[in-house]
Structure 1
Amino acid sequence: MEHKILLVEDDGEIRTLVNNHLKQEGFIVFTASDGEEAEAVFKREEVDLVLLDLMLPKQNGMELLKIVREASVVPVLIISAKTSELDKALGLGFGADDYISKPFSMIELTARVRAAIRRATQYTPPSEKMAEHTLHFKDITLDLDTFTASKNGKVIKLTAKEFQILKLFMTNPSRVFTKEQIYMFIWEDEYYGDENVINVHIRRLREKIEDDPSSPKYIQTIWGIGYKIGD
């Protein structure tokens, strides 16, 4: 199956280089040099992944990312020269799935693209199945009707908040959540920087679902950003 990619990059040399390489790797590539053109292509074509530069003319990358996320759960990989942790957190916080800093190698870019598409294909349920009453990730199952969790068929006793956190991760398998986002989604309140609340819940959840909580495979820490469910 040929996967379709929307490449949004205003630098002509980089756009041509990435476009040619991805085509050689077997992808179908649509290109755009500014945010408005990219939005038009995104609304016209059904793509499997968006490669998005942040610094764009006419409409910047963050504005375009918001538009994409309002309409789709398609993986978004940010490519940008802005490398600070704040920029990374902001980009991923807006719903991007991954971040690669310029300059990057074509090998690394291709690996990231394939990994993002693989995660989305394996774990993200089609939109028409979003109303299903169970969630699955590896050997963990969440029953949304009975609010119970199980691992390899054995029931795991979770508190309401632990269940909600795990549900948040399992319904967004490619997304990294900051501590602020977890607090706002689960506690539905303003976040005042008290990391201890999140840290305690994540630790307790890991103690219940991980084979080795000190080396977690299910809930992974993305240093400097937050947490995500494992690959």
Structure 2
Amino acid sequence: MYNAKILLIDDEKSILQMLEMVLRKEGFNHIYTAGTAQEALRLLNKYGADIVLLDVMLPDQTGFELCPKIRELSDAHLIYITARTSDLDVLTGFATGGDDYVTKPFNPLEVAARIKARLRRGIVPTIARRVETPILYDFGHFTVNEEAGEVLVEDEPVSCPAQVYQLLLYLCKHPNIVFSKSQLYEAVWGIDGVGDDSTVMVHVRKIRERIETDPSEPKYLVTVRGLGYKLMKEKNT
């Protein structure tokens, strides 16, 4: 059984019913459903949420418009579930604050697996850190404090969405090692990353926007052509 609160937002009642049925069978009992953006915000204000599943096409406004409003109220892991499949739509989903992007038609069991993976990665590391000395990853120009969940660039704090931070933290823990997009997706998002290249690419770009002096000419998070990405660290830093 899971204590996580899940908010499902979709104007198709059949989708809501299917997801709720599958998630309850998978052990989730705190599930709320909304068919409009207005109802979603009301439920979020009243109950909160740990996971939000959000459709793009809603009757009163788009999911892309709603997502920033959700982000003002909650740090919940947000997964877009939509029939919008173009590269522009996927990039817009991440740019507006989404953590993951699933296209319709979809397997509801896969959605449940993504939620479970996110919960494992969001809870277990926090418990483990309680008994450890605070860990600091110092790359000179920027620093990541794992205990505080904080990123500093030139000693100034930089805001970092949860999933962007998790990817950066994973790379900090494995400097100078090349990872493929699928390896990074599986390590950070928790399930087989085949076909999720865009997710990693968008989050890599967001990391570069935060830690690089010139994101278009990265010095730290570099691309290894044909292989993937590597976070560079000099031995004396």
Alignment TM class, shorter chain as reference: 0.5 to 0.7
Aligned match of 1:12? 13
Amino acid in structure 2 at the alignment position of 1:173: Q
Amino acid in structure 2 at the alignment position of 1:13: S
Aligned match of 2:88? 86
Residues 74, 120 of structure 1: 8 Å contact kept: no
- Measured in 1, the distance between the counterparts of 2:90 and 2:104 equals 13
Aligned match of 2:181? none
Deviation at 1:124, TM superposition (A): 7.2
Q: Structure 2: which 5+ residue stretches go unaligned?
A: 128-133, 146-152, 168-198, 233-237
Output the TM-score relative to the length of structure 2.
0.62
Asked if 1:63 is matched to 2:65, the reply is: yes
Task: Give the direction of change, closer, same or farther, for the CA distance of 1:147–1:59 in structure 2 (3 Å limit).
Answer: closer
- Measured in 2, the distance between the counterparts of 1:118 and 1:112 equals 10
Instruction: Choose which of 90, 104, 107 in structure 2 pairs with 1:105.
Output: 107
Residues 97, 116 of structure 1: 8 Å contact kept: no
Q: Kindly report structure 1 stretches of 4+ aligned residues shifted beyond 3 Å.
A: 122-125, 146-150, 166-171, 174-189, 214-219
Residues 208, 221 of structure 2: 8 Å contact kept: no
Deviation at 1:111, TM superposition (A): 0.8
- Measured in 2, the distance between the counterparts of 1:89 and 1:24 equals 32
Identity, % of aligned positions: 32
1:173 is paired with a residue whose SS is helix
Aligned match of 1:46? 48
Output the TM-score relative to the length of structure 1.
0.63
Which digits, 9 at most, give the CA deviation of each residue in 1:48-91, with x for residues without a partner? 10000011111221122101112222100110001112111110
How many residues get paired? 182
Which digits, 9 at most, give the CA deviation of each residue in 1:109-158, with x for residues without a partner? 11111122222324579xxxxxxxx6x5xxxx3369x96679xxxxxxxx
Residues 75, 120 of structure 1: 8 Å contact kept: no
RMSD, aligned α-carbons: 4.1
Aligned match of 2:22? 21
Deviation at 1:7, TM superposition (A): 0.3
Task: Give the direction of change, closer, same or farther, for the CA distance of 1:180–1:218 in structure 2 (3 Å limit).
Answer: closer
Deviates more, 1:30-39 or 1:177-186: 177-186
Deviation at 1:182, TM superposition (A): 4.4
- Measured in 2, the distance between the counterparts of 1:143 and 1:18 equals 43
Deviation at 1:172, TM superposition (A): 2.3
Which digits, 9 at most, give the CA deviation of each residue in 1:16-40, with x for residues without a partner? 1111111111112100001110010
Amino acid in structure 1 at the alignment position of 2:16: R
Task: Give the direction of change, closer, same or farther, for the CA distance of 1:23–1:95 in structure 2 (3 Å limit).
Answer: same
Which digits, 9 at most, give the CA deviation of each residue in 1:179-203, with x for residues without a partner? 66445544689xxxx73x13x4312
- Measured in 2, the distance between the counterparts of 1:184 and 1:72 equals 23
Q: Structure 1: which 5+ residue stretches go unaligned?
A: 126-133, 151-159, 207-213, 220-231
Residues 8, 52 of structure 1: 8 Å contact kept: yes
